[in-house]
Protein backbone atom coordinates (compact mmCIF):
# COMPACT_ATOMS: atom_id res chain seq x y z
CA UNK A 1 0.00 0.00 0.00
CA UNK A 2 1.29 3.41 -0.93
CA UNK A 3 1.66 5.80 1.97
CA UNK A 4 -0.58 8.15 0.08
CA UNK A 5 -3.40 5.62 0.35
CA UNK A 6 -3.48 6.92 3.90
CA UNK A 7 -4.32 10.44 2.74
CA UNK A 8 -8.03 11.06 3.31
CA UNK A 9 -10.02 12.42 0.39
CA UNK A 10 -10.56 16.16 0.31
CA UNK A 11 -13.33 16.95 2.79
CA UNK A 12 -16.34 18.75 1.34
CA UNK A 13 -16.76 22.42 2.17
CA UNK A 14 -18.24 22.95 5.64
CA UNK A 15 -17.38 19.41 6.78
CA UNK A 16 -16.66 19.45 10.53
CA UNK A 17 -12.91 19.03 11.09
CA UNK A 18 -11.15 18.89 14.44
CA UNK A 19 -8.74 21.83 14.71
CA UNK A 20 -6.43 19.69 16.86
CA UNK A 21 -5.04 16.50 15.41
CA UNK A 22 -2.55 14.97 17.85
CA UNK A 23 0.08 13.20 15.77
CA UNK A 24 3.35 12.03 17.36
CA UNK A 25 4.58 11.05 13.88
CA UNK A 26 4.12 14.60 12.65
CA UNK A 27 6.05 15.95 15.63
CA UNK A 28 8.83 13.45 14.94
CA UNK A 29 8.90 14.42 11.27
CA UNK A 30 9.08 18.14 12.05
CA UNK A 31 11.82 17.56 14.62
CA UNK A 32 14.00 15.46 12.34
CA UNK A 33 13.14 16.34 8.75
CA UNK A 34 15.89 17.67 6.51
CA UNK A 35 16.21 18.83 2.97
CA UNK A 36 18.67 16.94 0.82
CA UNK A 37 21.26 18.43 -1.50
CA UNK A 38 19.96 18.34 -5.06
CA UNK A 39 22.96 16.32 -6.21
CA UNK A 40 21.99 13.64 -3.67
CA UNK A 41 18.41 13.24 -4.88
CA UNK A 42 17.72 10.60 -7.53
CA UNK A 43 15.00 8.28 -8.76
CA UNK A 44 12.37 7.27 -8.03
CA UNK A 45 10.27 10.34 -7.59
CA UNK A 46 6.58 10.56 -6.84
CA UNK A 47 4.29 9.07 -9.47
CA UNK A 48 1.79 11.36 -11.18
CA UNK A 49 -0.89 10.10 -8.81
CA UNK A 50 1.27 10.67 -5.76
CA UNK A 51 2.24 14.11 -7.00
CA UNK A 52 -1.40 15.00 -7.43
CA UNK A 53 -2.01 14.04 -3.80
CA UNK A 54 1.07 15.93 -2.60
CA UNK A 55 -0.06 19.07 -4.41
CA UNK A 56 -3.52 18.76 -2.92
CA UNK A 57 -1.93 18.68 0.53
CA UNK A 58 0.37 21.59 -0.35
CA UNK A 59 -2.66 23.55 -1.42
CA UNK A 60 -4.25 23.27 2.03
CA UNK A 61 -2.26 26.17 3.38
CA UNK A 62 -3.55 29.19 5.26
CA UNK A 63 -4.55 31.78 2.72
CA UNK A 64 -6.12 35.09 3.77
CA UNK A 65 -9.19 35.80 1.69
CA UNK A 66 -9.30 32.34 0.08
CA UNK A 67 -7.50 33.70 -2.96
CA UNK A 68 -5.23 30.71 -3.60
CA UNK A 69 -2.47 33.18 -4.49
CA UNK A 70 -0.13 30.59 -5.96
CA UNK A 71 0.04 27.96 -8.64
CA UNK A 72 2.12 24.86 -9.29
CA UNK A 73 3.97 24.04 -12.52
CA UNK A 74 5.31 20.49 -12.76
CA UNK A 75 8.67 19.88 -14.41
CA UNK A 76 8.96 16.14 -15.09
CA UNK A 77 9.75 13.74 -17.92
CA UNK A 78 11.19 15.29 -21.05
CA UNK A 79 10.34 18.81 -19.84
CA UNK A 80 13.27 18.53 -17.44
CA UNK A 81 15.81 18.49 -20.25
CA UNK A 82 13.90 20.99 -22.42
CA UNK A 83 13.52 23.57 -19.67
CA UNK A 84 17.10 23.20 -18.43
CA UNK A 85 18.44 23.67 -21.96
CA UNK A 86 16.24 26.71 -22.57
CA UNK A 87 17.42 28.32 -19.34
CA UNK A 88 21.06 27.50 -20.06
CA UNK A 89 20.74 29.07 -23.52
CA UNK A 90 19.79 32.35 -21.85
CA UNK A 91 23.08 32.62 -20.01
CA UNK A 92 25.38 30.87 -22.49
CA UNK A 93 26.85 34.22 -23.56
CA UNK A 94 27.43 35.57 -20.05
CA UNK A 95 31.01 36.66 -19.40
CA UNK A 96 31.49 34.37 -16.40
CA UNK A 97 30.11 31.28 -18.13
CA UNK A 98 32.31 28.29 -18.91
CA UNK A 99 31.53 24.91 -20.48
CA UNK A 100 31.31 23.01 -17.19
CA UNK A 101 28.95 25.51 -15.60
CA UNK A 102 26.82 25.59 -18.72
CA UNK A 103 26.52 21.82 -18.72
CA UNK A 104 25.51 21.91 -15.06
CA UNK A 105 22.89 24.52 -15.92
CA UNK A 106 21.54 22.31 -18.70
CA UNK A 107 21.20 19.49 -16.20
CA UNK A 108 19.45 21.67 -13.62
CA UNK A 109 16.24 19.57 -13.67
CA UNK A 110 17.77 16.23 -14.60
CA UNK A 111 19.03 15.34 -11.12
CA UNK A 112 15.77 14.89 -9.24
CA UNK A 113 12.98 13.15 -11.17
CA UNK A 114 10.37 15.76 -10.36
CA UNK A 115 10.44 19.47 -9.70
CA UNK A 116 7.47 21.63 -8.79
CA UNK A 117 7.80 25.31 -9.54
CA UNK A 118 5.68 27.10 -6.97
CA UNK A 119 4.62 30.47 -8.32
CA UNK A 120 3.32 33.33 -6.24
CA UNK A 121 0.43 34.96 -8.07
CA UNK A 122 0.12 37.70 -5.44
CA UNK A 123 -1.48 40.85 -6.82
CA UNK A 124 -2.93 44.07 -5.46
CA UNK A 125 -6.24 43.41 -3.73
CA UNK A 126 -8.62 45.81 -2.03
CA UNK A 127 -8.54 43.89 1.27
CA UNK A 128 -5.72 41.36 1.31
CA UNK A 129 -2.16 42.72 1.48
CA UNK A 130 0.15 41.31 -1.18
CA UNK A 131 2.65 40.41 1.53
CA UNK A 132 0.17 37.99 3.02
CA UNK A 133 -0.43 36.42 -0.37
CA UNK A 134 3.30 35.91 -0.83
CA UNK A 135 3.55 34.31 2.62
CA UNK A 136 0.88 31.82 1.57
CA UNK A 137 3.01 30.79 -1.43
CA UNK A 138 5.96 30.21 0.91
CA UNK A 139 3.73 28.12 3.14
CA UNK A 140 2.71 26.06 0.10
CA UNK A 141 6.39 25.35 -0.65
CA UNK A 142 6.97 24.12 2.87
CA UNK A 143 3.77 22.11 3.00
CA UNK A 144 4.79 20.39 -0.24
CA UNK A 145 8.20 19.58 1.18
CA UNK A 146 6.79 18.21 4.43
CA UNK A 147 4.11 16.20 2.65
CA UNK A 148 6.78 14.73 0.37
CA UNK A 149 8.94 13.79 3.37
CA UNK A 150 5.95 12.14 5.02
CA UNK A 151 5.32 10.19 1.81
CA UNK A 152 8.90 8.94 1.90
CA UNK A 153 10.53 11.29 -0.59
CA UNK A 154 13.50 13.59 -0.22
CA UNK A 155 13.29 17.14 -1.42
CA UNK A 156 14.82 20.56 -1.48
CA UNK A 157 13.40 24.06 -1.96
CA UNK A 158 15.64 26.13 -4.22
CA UNK A 159 15.35 29.37 -6.12
CA UNK A 160 18.71 30.33 -7.74
CA UNK A 161 19.03 32.71 -10.67
CA UNK A 162 16.06 31.52 -12.79
CA UNK A 163 13.75 32.75 -10.03
CA UNK A 164 15.10 36.29 -10.28
CA UNK A 165 16.42 36.83 -13.79
CA UNK A 166 13.95 38.59 -16.07
CA UNK A 167 15.37 36.68 -19.04
CA UNK A 168 13.95 33.46 -17.56
CA UNK A 169 10.39 34.71 -17.25
CA UNK A 170 9.27 33.68 -20.72
CA UNK A 171 10.90 30.23 -20.52
CA UNK A 172 9.19 29.67 -17.15
CA UNK A 173 5.91 31.03 -18.55
CA UNK A 174 5.53 33.53 -15.72
CA UNK A 175 2.65 35.94 -16.15
CA UNK A 176 2.84 39.64 -15.33
CA UNK A 177 3.46 40.12 -11.62
CA UNK A 178 4.04 36.43 -10.96
CA UNK A 179 7.13 35.41 -9.02
CA UNK A 180 8.83 32.10 -8.38
CA UNK A 181 8.43 31.17 -4.72
CA UNK A 182 10.55 28.08 -5.18
CA UNK A 183 11.59 25.11 -7.23
CA UNK A 184 10.81 22.14 -5.01
CA UNK A 185 12.82 19.19 -6.31
CA UNK A 186 11.54 15.77 -5.22
CA UNK A 187 12.91 12.25 -5.43
CA UNK A 188 14.75 9.65 -3.40
CA UNK A 189 17.81 10.47 -1.32
CA UNK A 190 20.94 8.60 -2.35
CA UNK A 191 22.32 9.04 1.16
CA UNK A 192 21.32 10.46 4.51
CA UNK A 193 21.49 14.19 5.11
CA UNK A 194 23.53 15.59 7.97
CA UNK A 195 21.92 17.94 10.42
CA UNK A 196 22.86 21.57 9.80
CA UNK A 197 23.24 24.52 12.12
CA UNK A 198 19.81 25.70 13.17
CA UNK A 199 18.75 29.20 14.03
CA UNK A 200 18.82 29.71 17.78
CA UNK A 201 15.14 30.00 18.51
CA UNK A 202 15.52 31.12 22.13
CA UNK A 203 17.47 34.25 21.14
CA UNK A 204 14.81 35.01 18.56
CA UNK A 205 11.92 34.60 20.98
CA UNK A 206 10.59 37.19 23.38
CA UNK A 207 7.50 37.74 25.44
CA UNK A 208 5.34 40.81 25.80
Ligand X SMILES: Cc1cc2nc3c(=O)[nH]c(=O)nc-3n(C[C@H](O)[C@H](O)[C@H](O)COP(=O)(O)O)c2cc1C
Q: Which residues bind ligand X (CB under 6 A)?
A: 34-35, 156-160, 182
**CB contact set of 110 (below 8 Å; sequence gap of 6+):** 80, 81, 84
Helices 79-91 and 99-106 pack at an angle, to 10 degrees, of 150
Q: How far is Cα 20 from Cα 83, in angstroms, rounded to an integer?
A: 42
Q: Which is nearer to ligand X, 28 or 48 (CB)?
A: 28
Smallest gap from residue 49 Cβ to ligand X (A): 25
Min CB(9)–ligand X separation in Å: 29
- In the complex with ligand X, the residue whose CB is nearer, 40 or 67, is 40
Q: 148 or 156: whose CB is closer to ligand X?
A: 156
Could you give the CA distance from residue 26 to residue 116 in angstroms, rounded to a whole number? 23
Q: Give the nearer residue to ligand X in terms of CB position, either 17 or 201.
A: 201
Q: Nearest approach, Cβ of 91 to ligand X (angstroms)?
A: 15
> Within the chain, where are the H helices?
24-32, 48-58, 79-91, 99-106, 130-150
Query: Nearest distance from residue 178's CB to ligand X, in Å?
Result: 15
**Residue with the CB atom nearest ligand X in the bound state:** 35
Amino acid sequence: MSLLDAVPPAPPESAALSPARPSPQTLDLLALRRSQKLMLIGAPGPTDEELEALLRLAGRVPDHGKLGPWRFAIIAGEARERLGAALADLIAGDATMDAARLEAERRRFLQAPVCVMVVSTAAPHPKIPEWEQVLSAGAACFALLVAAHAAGYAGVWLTEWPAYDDRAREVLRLGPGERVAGFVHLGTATQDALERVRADVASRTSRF
